């Protein structure tokens, strides 16, 4: 991809790295087939290629992030599926990380957005709080339509995603050992969850 950064912009190591990454992209579109948000929404701007164009435009023109750019960058799940299929080896995640850093310094998120982000940052890593939040969301699920009608669509969306029932609590935290039932012994680790073992 051709870029048109000025020499002054390229003096910033982050912009120079972004330029190097942008120049690696050849617009082939292989990334679109594996991007879950593009597959679901069908919007080019919700594909890695589309986000690359948005990031390039924001950086080259040295503009603060707009609500439109933020919407599409925030929709990226950071699953890295695009990077595994990219024949050019575009370091998409580094580019998106830099864009997110720039968004945080140049874009004033709405108060509800800031509140939800702060709550999620507090609740997700804490198993006890996460279970309580899921239980509360289950009880609030019937009111999702009301929240949507009040313009609180992010809350409505989270309520709709709440599970019908909480999974049973996993084994108590700490080490649990089970004796081997065969002559050959080995060690096994069990991942109880990627966020929190609810």
- Per-run averaged pLDDT (10 residues), the chain, 198 residues: 92 95 94 95 96 96 95 95 95 96 95 92 89 91 94 90 78 63 75 64
Rounded to whole angstroms, the Cα distance separating 46 from 52 reads 10
Using CA atoms in the order 161, 39, 37, 81, what is the torsion angle rounded to 10 degrees? 110
First to last CA, the chain: 44
Going along the chain from its start, the domains and CATH numbers come out as 7-106 (1.10.1060.10), 111-161 (no CATH)
Residues 6+ apart with CB under 8 A from 15: 5, 9, 59
For position 164, what pLDDT does the model report? 84
Res 182: pLDDT: 78
Distance from C-alpha of 3 to C-alpha of 20, rounded to nearest angstrom: 9
- What tokens does 19 get? 């330029």
Q: CB neighbours of 124 closer than 8 A, spacing ≥ 6? A: 130, 195, 196
Q: What is the pTM of this model?
A: 0.76
How far is it, in rounded angstroms, from Cα 163 to Cα 140?
Answer: 11
Ramachandran bin of 89, using left for φ above 0, alpha for ψ from -120 to 50, beta for the remaining angles: left
Looking at residue 127, its pLDDT comes to 85
pLDDT at 172: 54
∠ CA 98-82-122, rounded to 5°: 55
pLDDT score of 39: 96
* Whether 131 contacts 166, CB under 8 Å: yes
Count each helix (H run) and each strand (E run) in the chain, helices first: 12, 0
């Amino acid at each position: 991809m051709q870029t048109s950064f000025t020499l002054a912009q390229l003096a910033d190591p982050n912009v120079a790295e972004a330029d190097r990454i942008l120049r690696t992209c050849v617009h082939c579109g292989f990334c679109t087939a594996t991007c879950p948000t593009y597959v679901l929404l069908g919007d080019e701007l919700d594909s890695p290629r589309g986000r690359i164009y948005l990031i390039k435009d924001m950086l080259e023109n040295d503009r603060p992030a707009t609500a439109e750019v933020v919407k599409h960058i925030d929709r990226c799940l950071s699953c890295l599926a695009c990077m595994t299929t990219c024949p050019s080896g575009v370091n998409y995640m580094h580019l998106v990380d830099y864009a997110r850093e720039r968004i945080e310094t140049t874009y004033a998120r709405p108060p509800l957005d800031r509140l939800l982000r702060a709550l999620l940052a507090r609740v997700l890593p804490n198993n006890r709080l996460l279970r309580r939040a899921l239980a509360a969301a289950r009880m609030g699920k019937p009111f999702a339509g009301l929240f949507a009608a009040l313009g609180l669509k992010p809350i409505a969306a989270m309520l709709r995603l709440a599970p019908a029932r909480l999974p049973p609590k996993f084994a108590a935290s700490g080490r649990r050992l089970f004796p081997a039932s065969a002559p050959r012994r080995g060690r096994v680790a069990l991942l109880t969850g990627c966020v929190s073992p609810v």
